[in-house]
Amino acid sequence: MLVPVVNQETCIACATCYEVCPAVPKVFEVTDKSNVVNPDACLECGACEENCPTSSIRLV
């Protein structure tokens, strides 16, 4: 099972990952940085990784 991992050093909290994530409930929560809060909900679609403007998300 792949899950998104956020590089906290490069994340700019733009919320793109939250916006493009089709999962319900959402995999991400964005506060001062993006955080993976529901990894089991991940659909492994890669939308978060593809759309992150800082390449801070990887599915591993």
pTM of structure: 0.94
Give the pLDDT confidence score for residue 21 in this predicted structure.
Answer: 98
Dmax over Cα atoms in the chain, in whole Å? 27
| Domain 4-59 CATH (choose: 3.30.70.20, 2.60.40.420, 3.30.70.3270, 3.30.300.30) | 3.30.70.20
Per-residue pLDDT tens digits for 37-49: 999 999 999 999 9
Per-residue pLDDT tens digits for 11-60: 999 999 999 999 999 999 999 999 999 999 999 999 999 999 999 999 99
Residues 58/4, Cβ–Cβ less than 8 Å: yes
Give the pLDDT confidence score for residue 50 in this predicted structure.
Answer: 98
Give the pLDDT confidence score for residue 42 in this predicted structure.
Answer: 98
Ranges of H-type helices in the chain: 16-20, 47-51
Instruction: List the chain domain ranges.
Output: 4-59
